Structure 1
Amino acid sequence: MTGVISYVLLLGNLQQTYLAAAIAISLLPYLLLFLEKRYKESIRGGVLLLAAGLVQKFLLQDAKGVWASLFLFLTVIFLRMAPGIMMGKYAFVTTGMSDLVCALKKMRLPDQIVIPMTVMARFFYTVREDYRQVKDAMYLHGLTTARLLVHPVRLLEYRTVPLLMCLTRTADEVAVSALTRGMEVGKRRSSISGTKLTGIDYAFFALMLLVIGVYIRGKYA
């Protein structure tokens, strides 16, 4: 779903031929996030998406100049790139590592792909937490982002350098965590997760096939 939504919206042909379908596909990730009770992200994203659509339709038809180009660039981001990114975020936040590993194993992907993917996912999550802790520590010392932007050297010294030190430690800890979970190349691994496709999965697969069909028809018909 992430790949299909990103592809058909980024090229822009669907918006020109089947506007209603493009709007529905664009709102789908935000609807799924809303169903996962991530209300703030879904409502804010949906409002920005609709606002960008209205701005592009009514305000940027004949507009010219630097500001028009800037607003056009922002609307392209919200209308064509943001839905695919949010779909990827939905897949990431609703999938546990155990379920992901079990699913990839059932797909018979080699360990040389499964292990780096799981380690990378854990690494990025840990990086976000480390950055948040560094940012909070700097805030307690009065080193806010606004003040650090005026002094880029301090930004590098007080935020970037501590983060890099945390990353070196995090990389080792994530690698050790993968080993303790029994993730080795060529070794069978048991799992408490049970993954299988259900009716809703097949429904979304069919929906994505329909979207691809509509896109091809609009492009070549």
Structure 2
Amino acid sequence: MAAIFSGGERPGRFRLDPRTKLCLLFIGNITVLLSPAIHYELLLVASILLLGLLCGVGRYCLKMTVVYFLLAAVQLLGTRYLDGFLQIFLVTFAVFLRKVFPCAMLGGILIATTRVNEFMAAMHRLRIPRSVAVPLAVTLRYFPMIKEEWKHVCDAMNMRGIGVSVWRFLQKPLKTTECIYVPILISAAKLADELAAAAVTRGIDNPQPRTCLQQIGFGMADGICIGWFLLLVMINLWGKGGGS
């Protein structure tokens, strides 16, 4: 059970401090909100893709980037060639998801490259209350486990002849929804209990100051990343003010 709570760090050229990743996630959200046009977002997405490649999660970021461009294409084609309710529905849906993807990419980098012990040590140095740090640490390990459960659910559905695809959903929407959500909800409740038990076993609720075998601290890579993302914010502010 303790192994479930272990981190999933991946090797890469950049070794960023967990506090830097949280800062980049915060700055990325601000950049998306301030983005005056899609080409400003493209610069942000390209920066996140480069960061993911350097941190060792390039495959994940490449997949997310492809989906991002597909959504941008849906928005562009829908605006040009559709009209009426269908245009409003598709374009609005594509824009909403497109805005979420850069932040999702940064969140995925944070989850995939940060061990729980590093994260807790960073929270301790930031003097974050345990009532906030502990749920965040459990959540950090919750998403990878849900991803594994999703694969198991898909395998089980394929064995029963119920594939997970858009066409299957259109054929049998209620059956497909039931076969997906019921196992996911049941496994989510079970995983929450297991993660909580594993966290207590590792002494996550120990009131004493935490120590970490792996040293964390700010370096040149942290400064470069934060500086570049702050520059993106300034570029978006400049564009929003009419500088473009």
Instruction: Give the C-alpha shift of residue 150 in structure 1.
Output: 0.8
Q: Secondary structure at the match of 1:76?
A: helix
Query: What does residue 152 of structure 1 align with?
Result: 174
Higher RCO structure (Cα 8 Å, ≥6 apart): 2
| Letter in structure 1 aligned against 2:43 | A
Matches within 5 A, 1:60-79: 60=79, 64-73=83-92, 75-77=94-96, 79=98
Q: Does structure 2 conserve the Cα–Cα contact (< 8 Å) formed by 1:115 and 1:183?
A: yes
Query: What does residue 167 of structure 1 align with?
Result: 188
Instruction: Give the C-alpha shift of residue 204 in structure 1.
Output: 1.6
1:29 aligns with 2:48: yes
Distance in 1 (CA, whole Å) between partners of 2:185 and 2:69 is 39
Q: Which deviates further from its counterpart, 135-144 or 210-219? A: 210-219
Q: CA, structure 1 residues 184+59, in 2 after alignment: closer, same or farther (shift >3 Å)?
A: closer
Instruction: Give the C-alpha shift of residue 62 in structure 1.
Output: 8.6
Instruction: Give the C-alpha shift of residue 99 in structure 1.
Output: 1.4
Q: Secondary structure at the match of 1:60?
A: helix
1:96 aligns with 2:119: no
Distance in 1 (CA, whole Å) between partners of 2:93 and 2:181 is 28
**What are the ranges of 5 or more consecutive residues in structure 2 without an aligned counterpart?**
1-23
Provide the identity percentage.
21
Out of 183, 199, 212, which is 1:191 matched to? 212
RMSD: 3.2
Query: What does residue 153 of structure 2 align with?
Result: 134
Instruction: Give the C-alpha shift of residue 121 in structure 1.
Output: 2.0
Q: Does structure 1 conserve the Cα–Cα contact (< 8 Å) formed by 2:30 and 2:233?
A: no
Q: TM-score, normalised by structure 2?
A: 0.71
Distance in 2 (CA, whole Å) between partners of 1:54 and 1:155 is 28
Q: TM-score, normalised by structure 1?
A: 0.78
Q: Does structure 1 conserve the Cα–Cα contact (< 8 Å) formed by 2:34 and 2:237?
A: no
Q: Does structure 2 conserve the Cα–Cα contact (< 8 Å) formed by 1:134 and 1:162?
A: yes
Q: What do the CA deviations read for 1:128-157 (whole angstroms, capped 9, x no partner)?
A: 22232233123222232327961625742x
| Letter in structure 1 aligned against 2:31 | V
Instruction: Give the C-alpha shift of residue 200 in structure 1.
Output: 1.0
* Paired residues, number: 216
Q: Secondary structure at the match of 1:68?
A: helix
Distance in 1 (CA, whole Å) between partners of 2:92 and 2:182 is 33
Distance in 1 (CA, whole Å) between partners of 2:101 and 2:219 is 28
Distance in 2 (CA, whole Å) between partners of 1:151 and 1:105 is 46
Q: Which deviates further from its counterpart, 28-37 or 190-199? A: 28-37
Out of 137, 158, 177, which is 2:198 matched to? 177
Q: Secondary structure at the match of 2:161?
A: coil
Q: Secondary structure at the match of 2:218?
A: coil
Structure exhibiting the larger radius of gyration computed from Cα positions: 1
Query: What does residue 110 of structure 1 align with?
Result: 129
